[in-house]
Amino acid sequence: MRYLSCLLIIICLLSCDYFEKKKISADDILEGELQSFNWNEVDEYPSFVSCDSSVSKMERRQCFESILTQHISSKIQASNFVVSEAINDTVQMAFSISSEGEIRIKAIEHSDIIKQQIPELDSILRLSIHDLPELLPAIKRGQHVNTEFILPLVVNAN
């Protein structure tokens, strides 16, 4: 019995560490939150003022893409290009939208044929971007954030 009592007292004394609460630092919480954060998705896509009444996330995205492509297409079509050979190619325009709603072209990639046949296409694309209606930035967890997009533009000229 004496051995059993001593054993119980020793076990109780050694198990005191079991009852201590572990403190989690703010850095550990932040690190865990950042790892669970999906950096490739936003809560709300950038939009134009006219798209702000759209209800769902996908409707706002579609409205944004539609207005953007229509605006750029109308600027390109207004410039009557004369080409010597038929063109059916895609131009990749990479752009970013800042957390303040400012749009900036990062790169325009196109084939050598487009560069030869329509050398002023880059400047028209740049002007059309600066001509856009007011942009509202994307939102992630209640904060305005920077976003980047690549817009494919099909160039079809005969």
Q: What is the mean pLDDT of residues 114-118?
A: 86
For residue 118, the surrounding DSSP H or E stretch is none
> Which tens digits make up the pLDDT trace of 24-37?
666 666 666 656 66
pLDDT range class, residue 84, cuts 50, 70, 90: confident
Check whether 14 has a pLDDT greater than 60.
Answer: yes
Across 15-21, average pLDDT: 59
Q: What is the DSSP letter of 2?
A: H
Q: CB within 8 A of 144, min separation 6: which ones?
A: 99, 100, 101, 137, 138
Two tokens, residue 145: 């954030």
The residue with greater pLDDT, 135 or 141, is 135
Among 121, 113, 117, 133, residue whose Cα is nearest residue 79: 121
What are the boundaries of each domain within the chain?
A: 47-157
- pLDDT, the chain, mean: 81
Give yes or no for residue 104 having a pLDDT over 90.
yes
Query: Which two tokens mark 122?
Result: 């880059």
